Amino acid sequence: MHVTESHWLARTRRVISPNADARPVRARIELVVVHCISLPPGRFGTGCVEALFTNTLDCRIDPSLNDLEGVRVSAHLFIDRRGRTTQFVPFSMRAWHAGVSAWRGRPGCNDFSIGIELEGTDTGAYTAAQYWRLRRVLDALLAVYPALSRDAVVGHAEIAPGRKTDPGPGFEWHRLLAATGS
C-alpha cells in the first residue's frame, strides 16, 4: 500500500466528500486521529456512514439519526469491519473530522491531521481486519509524510477530551502501534 502523488491511497475505493477544503498555507500533516462511527449507532454495514460523508443521509430512516440533519462532516478514510477502506478526501486537503480540538496545545486539529474512522462503537471491540488495515495505512502515511510519527497517532478523545470518547476503551493501542513502523 502506498500514497500516490495526488495524496490518495493506491488501490483504495474513492468516494468524494464535499465536506473538505484546503489546508492552511504551509500546513504540514503532523497528526493522525483515530475515530469510530456506526450509523445507526451500533449497526454496521448500513451504508449510512458513506451517506453522512457525502451529504446524502436520510435522517428519517432512524430516530437516532435526527441530530445529524444538516451536519457536514467527513474523514479522510473509513475502514469497515472487514477491513475494506474507502477514502473520501485526499490527504492534501482538510477533512472535517475533529471539530473543536487541540493537540499538544495547538488548536484546530483538522488543519494538520488525517482523520481515520473505524466502523465501530466507543464501547465495543474492533476486528482483526481493521487493525491489519489500519497498520498498513499508517505504514504508508509514515513513509510519505515526514512530520508524522508513531507518537502522533491519537484517538479523538485525546484531542477533544470531555467532548469525545472514541475510539473508546475497546481499542487496543498496543496492538496497533507495536506493529507499525516509524
Render each residue's pLDDT in the chain as its tens digit; 182 residues. 898 899 999 999 999 999 999 999 999 999 999 999 999 999 999 999 999 999 999 999 999 999 999 999 999 999 999 999 999 999 999 999 999 999 999 999 999 999 999 999 999 999 999 999 999 999 999 999 999 999 999 999 999 999 999 999 999 999 887 655 54
Mind spelling out the 3-state secondary structure of 40-53? CCCCCCCCHHHHHH
Active site residue 117: yes
Q: Please name the residues in contact with 140: beta carbons below 8 A apart, sequence gap of 6 or more.
A: 1, 2, 3, 9
Q: Is residue 73 part of a domain?
A: yes
Amino acid at 166: D
Q: Is residue 182 part of a domain?
A: no
**Which CATH number does the domain housing residue 67 bear?**
3.40.80.10
Q: Is residue 1 part of a domain?
A: no
Q: Is residue 135 part of a domain?
A: yes
Q: Is residue 7 part of a domain?
A: no
Q: Is residue 123 part of a domain?
A: yes
Q: Which residue has the cell 473543536?
A: 100
Pick from 17, 23, 122, 121: nearest CA to 77: 17
The answer to pTM > 0.85 is: yes
How far CA 2 is from CA of 35, 73, 102, in Å, comes to: 22, 25, 28
Active-site entry in 69, 117, 158, 172: 117
The order of strands in the sheet holding 77-79 is 13-14, 85-87, 77-79, 113-119, 31-37, 153-155
For residue 81, the enclosing domain spans: 13-177
Q: Is residue 28 part of a domain?
A: yes
> What total number of domains does the chain contain?
1
Q: Is residue 61 part of a domain?
A: yes
